[in-house]
Structure 1
């Protein structure tokens, strides 16, 4: 029956007859002055239109219904509009004159403004996160309030959202859920910045829309938009970092016709051992990686299809290993910087496929998404060519969603998400950390969205079932029911939001079945077959003030956890390594707040002052602190924008200061962390009338502070993080018409 419905939806999408609609973008002045060369981004269709000299545009070959659009023009506030397509009425879009230049309007992947969202969502363009260039995508994500990272050297990093990471944080690229053995502390983010246009971060339980495991949050990456119709554009980019002599080279091309659109990108990174503040290098912190991706889109009359493929290959050094009988910091450092392949190391290859088809009818929207991810992980302990661990993780995923406009004020969404996962060990590998297993996820959800005037309400429920079948014939089954409800009220200069949401996470096969040495973490891990489902309920509220020169947001939250799964260090030793066991806490609580302020004074329109504060506390039912909770931090930035008319232009200068407070709320066998300061700076510029050549120079950790982040996996060895790191980036872009 399900296959029949999918077939029916596809046929509807291909056979529908489209129409043309004319429209105009005008200003809010009494004369309704047309706005020339305004940019209209049709989010659902992946199209970009530019108005002519009289503000006019034509939307070809689409059917009656509703489309979400993001509209922008120089000198006007950006707008997000819901366009109702009616053959008898021309489209009219009104933009308001800009009196200030605070951060741009940002739209989430469901076509809603960030400030309209009821759940705790932050949407950022990648460029806005990278004003001061970062060497990795995880470093850029740390500029989002409430997001930090755990790391193993410079080559392995995992995002942490309000203290949650690993299997509790889901990663999506477009509509594809990414799996890459994320249960491991040393298994990094499976996505690079290549071709990424924006990232959406959902803080707290998000199981309702994104499935089991989204108990801590979701990272939703969105690719760069296609080029405008009948145009092409491209770029080449190179950068260099001094601390690890890292070179990064990227190239991309976008080509678009009337209906067919293609994006293609490729990159290569090569980094040597990184330099500490002392001037020595961290042995085996080197890494190299290659990535490529291609997106092919095709617009039908009432539907749009996208096929995407992502490839990644990397060899990542694993620092912090030694055979010295007496271990100290000198066991892990060197005075000779090197980038040659070494052991221990991870060798990783990823292949991600995604086929997505969206259908738009007058009151209906359908999404059909199919995908496959394949992650191959090899860990070499002492041999270059023969891995000690060789695991292949293959996932096949399907998502069908139907959105129906019940009324002008009501939207109904019904969907199902399913996953079939195989975890397979190479039979000739000498070590097995997690047994071969098959995992099946089945989930169904329903949402109801109501909007009237300044009020918006949203509620829904979801049922999930997970089954794990192990090669030794053991079978585990877990069920979960989740819900979410919330409201928001938007005023002209302020908005308030509050929601309650639940999350469900079944134990992973590694938590249930681990029994072996994990080389990346340098420990022996023991699973626990008696683990039960982990559950979460979060209450989240926010108040935001939006004035012409000031933005302020306060966002407190509390998260109640039951049957919380954690890995606990013991005093046992197996194979000369400390044993860590998976255990469960009956009840725990995590609470804290995010605070942000952005000041843009009228008397100095070129100046932006921004600051954010994030803190979180976590403890179990006995008031014992939970392990590995991020440090409280204050992130402040001064940015000066310049408008130069010369061919050589300085676009902006940024100075960033981050203060990390001391973390002394720790559990048994956990080390505390001292407070530290980081200072970063950059200058961004462009050359040429069309600004085809762009450059960025600057430095991170400008004062060469010696510090250890609390979430560093090398903290217990006393290994500091990277020292001063200068950088330079040069990018050349080009474009034309077909």
Structure 2
């Protein structure tokens, strides 16, 4: 049924045949007048790009008529933007050399601008850059972004934490649609492979204006890898080896593009053994493996653009409980473990109208979560020493203790109005229909139906030194669940409606070319999730008995965010400060009650405040443009109105990185090396149910480059994390309560072959 709806929506926007427009031009070095080869030339509103040839020339075909922003970027040059009227005569552009990393277009905000032009501060990192710094998983990689941490259960399970908020308070977008995979659970990871993801964008703060409920703490926006440029074919093979987990990861990709049609396909596989701590112990049952398939078909002419993407991911992840069996097996023979299948289908349609456009994104997701447990063996007389023995009869294909099917259909319709003077305006509607169904003998959350609807408008006003952006949005969520009774507990059916009106306003002031100030005020909301409303049973993954609260109301927040930036040819500095006030903050608290041998936890609400920020600089002294020194400090504090500290707030940290980069042509190109020291301070401001965490220092380093093999390039990266093999425990590790340390020394060797 949902697939039929998607097909109908596609047919509804199928375009007629229109006239075609072309644009040609050239890109030159502003200082030498020489042509710039392989510069990226891109229309963000059209999502259409190309690269310059050896003579600096470029050509676009099938362009719609109208006014569009053209962006030009190249390594070693400042990014350049200019408004262009289509059709147009041939144009010549000059770009200036710069040691500052080239900027990219920000996709997660509505007007698709360069970060330097954005009113809202957004962090952006390419996944290739995160991986070459030694990230084991995508969740591990995002912790290298200032203000972002990860709530971990071993190495295989990680959840993004943005300025102290996580789980349902941080919304994840992939392929342009919101990711729904039972993300309320602390032990539920992202379920997305880093292979096939082009870049990561992070909005640090309430983004309900753009994304509705659950974006109260921020948004992690994953951009899929791009198609090949027009009339090009590419192939890629990559392999990674991880010394600590004896893990490996392989991926193969092929993509080809004509003038209108584009195709892309990628397959990946990864497998890891139990990780080893700094003191030489392997943490039993932290092994995991992952299969991932991504594919895409694109079409674009002068009046219509379509992008159909599909992602299938199967993750098998062990759930650690104690340090026991010591081996390097990669098969999941130990209980408990998860088997998770995630299917994501997204379809983007864009209809180009005279000086305006209509965008429709629809998505369908099917998440099948199974958990295999050994809790039945206690009733059969097995002792604790047998809990981690192999049980072949319990392997996949047998009956899981917990099985949930989550189906989600989402849509996002936006109309980009014609520009009026200096105004850009967007109106839109968003919605979601979701069902949760149980098939296992345990019921963690009931069968339920969730329906979301939101309507919003936002506008941007540009002056020479000032930019203003604001908007307003109304959302409604309807949630219905059925009563259930199981061996784990009972719950009464629920029929609740939640609604909220939110707004945002931002100012960017740039009195000097080198200095910019951003001030953003925004409100956000989060409707309580099913676990918080309806739980009444043992949550084996968290080792506690949870009792929900059916009378919980919306979380409603208001955040003030101030950002200062200074940059010149030699030096960049930034300072970000925020204050986030959350009314009716939902939290879980233990009691003295015990049911079925487990301590009982209840859900409550109270007002809370979080505050802190990030501070840093980047030094790249001219003429030593190959030399870089970067430093960043981040801090966040969270308290309830009772003055009690919030749990799972990351410790303050300082990261210093020294790196060198050389761009010379020849046999060995794009050479680099780095040395990084991450210092995490003692965590003493803790919740009454937490314990203090000792600080630690982690040393990392890496080097690499590209080897020119004539018609192809091979990229080689070698990096190491925790090189001194420090035995430490992160405050955001869910294994901290069992005094289990984090991962020890890990060396990553990566090879990537582009054909």
- TM bracket (short chain): over 0.9
Moved more, 569-578 or 19-28: 19-28
Secondary structure of 2:186's partner? coil
Q: CA 1:648/1:60 → structure 2, altered by over 3 Å: closer, same or farther? A: closer
TM-score norm. by structure 1 comes to 0.93
CA distance, structure 1, for counterparts of residue 560 and residue 21 of structure 2: 46
CA distance, structure 1, for counterparts of residue 14 and residue 566 of structure 2: 43
Give ranges in structure 1 of 5+ residues lacking alignment: 321-330
Within the candidate set 721, 725, 735, 1:700 is matched to: 721
Q: Which residue of 2 aligns with 1:387?
A: 400
Q: CA 1:95/1:515 → structure 2, altered by over 3 Å: closer, same or farther? A: farther
Q: Which residue of 1 aligns with 2:138?
A: 137
2:673 is the alignment partner of 1:653:
yes
Moved more, 56-65 or 511-520: 56-65
Q: Which residue of 1 aligns with 2:99?
A: 101
Within the candidate set 432, 438, 448, 1:437 is matched to: 448
CA distance, structure 1, for counterparts of residue 156 and residue 544 of structure 2: 19
> What CA deviation, in whole Å up to 9, does each residue of 1:625-658 have, x standing for no partner?
1111111111111111134555245711111111
Q: Which residue of 2 aligns with 1:232?
A: 233
> What CA deviation, in whole Å up to 9, does each residue of 1:123-147 have, x standing for no partner?
2222233341211011110111000
CA shift, 1:39, in A, is 2.7
Give ranges in structure 2 of 5+ residues lacking alignment: 375-393, 484-492
CA distance, structure 1, for counterparts of residue 724 and residue 38 of structure 2: 45
Residue 260 of structure 1 contacts residue 298 of structure 1 at CA under 8 Å; is this kept in 2? yes
CA distance, structure 2, for counterparts of residue 640 and residue 608 of structure 1: 6
Residue 21 of structure 2 contacts residue 302 of structure 2 at CA under 8 Å; is this kept in 1? no
CA distance, structure 2, for counterparts of residue 686 and residue 29 of structure 1: 27
Residue 431 of structure 1 contacts residue 516 of structure 1 at CA under 8 Å; is this kept in 2? no
CA distance, structure 2, for counterparts of residue 678 and residue 74 of structure 1: 30
Superposed, 1:607-686 pairs within 5 Å as 607-643=627-663, 645-648=665-668, 651-686=671-706
CA distance, structure 1, for counterparts of residue 33 and residue 652 of structure 2: 49
Q: CA 1:489/1:25 → structure 2, altered by over 3 Å: closer, same or farther? A: farther
CA distance, structure 2, for counterparts of residue 30 and residue 177 of structure 1: 45
CA distance, structure 2, for counterparts of residue 139 and residue 95 of structure 1: 39
How many residues are aligned here? 715
Residue 65 of structure 1 contacts residue 362 of structure 1 at CA under 8 Å; is this kept in 2? yes
> What CA deviation, in whole Å up to 9, does each residue of 1:141-184 have, x standing for no partner?
01110000010011100010001110011111131111011100
Secondary structure of 1:525's partner? strand
Q: Which residue of 2 aligns with 1:262?
A: 263
2:432 is the alignment partner of 1:419:
yes
Moved more, 691-700 or 525-534: 691-700
CA shift, 1:572, in A, is 2.5
Secondary structure of 2:168's partner? helix
Q: Which residue of 2 aligns with 1:378?
A: 370
CA shift, 1:569, in A, is 2.1
CA distance, structure 1, for counterparts of residue 220 and residue 519 of structure 2: 21
CA distance, structure 1, for counterparts of residue 535 and residue 462 of structure 2: 48
Q: Which residue of 1 aligns with 2:343?
A: 351
Residue 252 of structure 1 contacts residue 266 of structure 1 at CA under 8 Å; is this kept in 2? yes
CA shift, 1:28, in A, is 7.1
CA distance, structure 1, for counterparts of residue 428 and residue 742 of structure 2: 44
CA distance, structure 2, for counterparts of residue 604 and residue 555 of structure 1: 28
Q: CA 1:80/1:133 → structure 2, altered by over 3 Å: closer, same or farther? A: farther
Secondary structure of 1:128's partner? helix
CA distance, structure 1, for counterparts of residue 46 and residue 227 of structure 2: 10
Within the candidate set 414, 417, 420, 1:404 is matched to: 417
2:547 is the alignment partner of 1:526:
yes
Q: Which residue of 2 aligns with 1:318?
A: 319
Secondary structure of 1:142's partner? helix
Q: Which residue of 1 aligns with 2:360?
A: 368
Residue 22 of structure 1 contacts residue 56 of structure 1 at CA under 8 Å; is this kept in 2? no
Q: CA 1:643/1:40 → structure 2, altered by over 3 Å: closer, same or farther? A: closer
Q: CA 1:22/1:435 → structure 2, altered by over 3 Å: closer, same or farther? A: closer
Residue 280 of structure 1 contacts residue 333 of structure 1 at CA under 8 Å; is this kept in 2? no
Secondary structure of 1:140's partner? helix
Q: CA 1:54/1:538 → structure 2, altered by over 3 Å: closer, same or farther? A: same
Residue 27 of structure 2 contacts residue 57 of structure 2 at CA under 8 Å; is this kept in 1? no
Secondary structure of 1:652's partner? strand
Q: Which residue of 2 aligns with 1:560?
A: 581
Secondary structure of 2:468's partner? strand
Q: CA 1:417/1:570 → structure 2, altered by over 3 Å: closer, same or farther? A: same
Q: Which residue of 2 aligns with 1:183?
A: 184
Q: CA 1:733/1:117 → structure 2, altered by over 3 Å: closer, same or farther? A: same
CA distance, structure 1, for counterparts of residue 242 and residue 592 of structure 2: 41
CA shift, 1:689, in A, is 4.8
Secondary structure of 1:604's partner? coil
Secondary structure of 1:138's partner? helix
Q: Which residue of 2 aligns with 1:325?
A: none
CA distance, structure 1, for counterparts of residue 337 and residue 633 of structure 2: 36
Moved more, 530-539 or 616-625: 616-625
Residue 45 of structure 1 contacts residue 299 of structure 1 at CA under 8 Å; is this kept in 2? no
Secondary structure of 2:427's partner? strand
Secondary structure of 2:501's partner? strand
CA distance, structure 2, for counterparts of residue 93 and residue 627 of structure 1: 56
CA distance, structure 2, for counterparts of residue 645 and residue 298 of structure 1: 35
Residue 237 of structure 2 contacts residue 252 of structure 2 at CA under 8 Å; is this kept in 1? yes
Q: Which residue of 1 aligns with 2:480?
A: 469
Superposed, 1:296-335 pairs within 5 Å as 296-320=297-321, 331-335=322-326
> What CA deviation, in whole Å up to 9, does each residue of 1:185-206 have, x standing for no partner?
0000122201111111100100
Within the candidate set 306, 315, 330, 1:339 is matched to: 330
CA distance, structure 2, for counterparts of residue 650 and residue 227 of structure 1: 21
Residue 375 of structure 1 contacts residue 392 of structure 1 at CA under 8 Å; is this kept in 2? yes
Residue 74 of structure 2 contacts residue 102 of structure 2 at CA under 8 Å; is this kept in 1? no
Q: CA 1:725/1:31 → structure 2, altered by over 3 Å: closer, same or farther? A: closer
Q: Which residue of 2 aligns with 1:327?
A: none
CA shift, 1:573, in A, is 2.4
Superposed, 1:118-137 pairs within 5 Å as 118-137=119-138
Residue 367 of structure 1 contacts residue 400 of structure 1 at CA under 8 Å; is this kept in 2? yes
CA shift, 1:570, in A, is 2.2
Secondary structure of 1:269's partner? strand
RMSD: 2.2
CA distance, structure 1, for counterparts of residue 578 and residue 193 of structure 2: 30
CA distance, structure 1, for counterparts of residue 92 and residue 453 of structure 2: 42
Which structure 1 residue ranges, 4+ long, deviate > 4 Å from structure 2?
6-13, 28-37, 643-646
Secondary structure of 1:283's partner? coil
CA distance, structure 1, for counterparts of residue 338 and residue 52 of structure 2: 50
CA shift, 1:224, in A, is 1.2
> What CA deviation, in whole Å up to 9, does each residue of 1:515-559 have, x standing for no partner?
222222222221110111100100001110011011101111101
Q: Which residue of 1 aligns with 2:463?
A: 452
2:618 is the alignment partner of 1:595:
no
Residue 14 of structure 1 contacts residue 301 of structure 1 at CA under 8 Å; is this kept in 2? no
Q: Which residue of 1 aligns with 2:381?
A: none
CA distance, structure 2, for counterparts of residue 336 and residue 54 of structure 1: 58
Superposed, 1:37-52 pairs within 5 Å as 37-52=38-53
Moved more, 415-424 or 511-520: 511-520
